[in-house]
Amino acid sequence: MPEDGIDAVIAWFAASGRDLPWRHEDTTAWAILVSEVMLQQTPVARVLPRWQEWMARWPAPADLADATTAEVLRQWDRLGYPRRALRLQECARAIVREHGGRVPHGEEALRTLPGIGEYTAAAVTAFAHHDRAVVVDTNIRRVLARSVSGRALPDRSYSAAERALATRSLPRDRGRSVAWNQSVMELGALVCTARAPRCEQCPLREVGCAWVAAGRPAPQEDGRRTQAFEGTDRQMRGRIMALLRTHGAASQAQLLAEDAEDPARVTRCARSLVADGLAVRAEDGLRLP
């Protein structure tokens, strides 16, 4: 990414970036870490109210560490992938136990925490601690694939070549690197979107985009099919969790009523929730931990 392109994207963000609470200067590192975990595969509109309620209830790692598992799962509500809630509580407990209740500095230290992978460690390093880190999410991958590589979409799996491209594109100056990470991520979320990119609004239109220059070629064919959500075990797991969040427990009869035509599916999903620590066996059915 040329320097004038970096400047253009950073200037665009300063004028057009969303005013999200986890971007405010007085936001704690813990609050930013929570936002990054919640935002994984979940839209901002769904995360915002849940994050605000979560931080009002558990503003510090020690607060979440002391909560019951049932409280945590109820508060997580319908954000999806509820195992993230359990990992977040485990992360809070590790921060209290091993770091005196303060989110540690450095990607290496962050990645030792439960549930914190490459992306989240880099994001917390950049956005909470304002240090240089290669932050790469789906939005950043898409912007770089188009503007630099001339491709409509990146590969499904994050590759070594993409990591190298993101590393080369990151400004060396610490302050500019943080601004770039935040700006290019927002550009992918608001303008350089997957399905309907608004190229006429893109700050890179003046400095050049390889994809636009190539005539905006269509994505390469991908033979892999996307599984429908309706009728999946994931959907059934979500329905069972909704029952448990609402009532605290569900009888075997209530569970089987979720799919009377396929009781084996209900049993299989209930068993998997227990295995994941999201539910425990009760005398007649399941309950929250």
Catalytic residues: 36
Classified as helix, coil or strand, 144 is: helix
| Distance separating alpha carbons of residues 249 and 283, to the nearest angstrom | 10
Classified as helix, coil or strand, 227 is: coil
**Radius of gyration, CA atoms only, the chain:** 21
List Cα–Cα distances, 134 to 65, 103, 137, 160, 271, in angstroms.
29, 19, 10, 13, 39
Classified as helix, coil or strand, 81 is: coil
Q: By C-alpha distance, which of 141, 166, 169, 135 is closest to 155?
A: 141
Classified as helix, coil or strand, 116 is: coil
Q: Where are the alpha helices (DSSP H) in 128-221?
A: 138-147, 160-169, 174-190, 210-213
Q: Which residue is associated with the tokens 């909470």?
A: 128
| Distance separating alpha carbons of residues 95 and 97, to the nearest angstrom | 6
Q: By C-alpha distance, which of 54, 12, 17, 13 is closest to 32?
A: 54
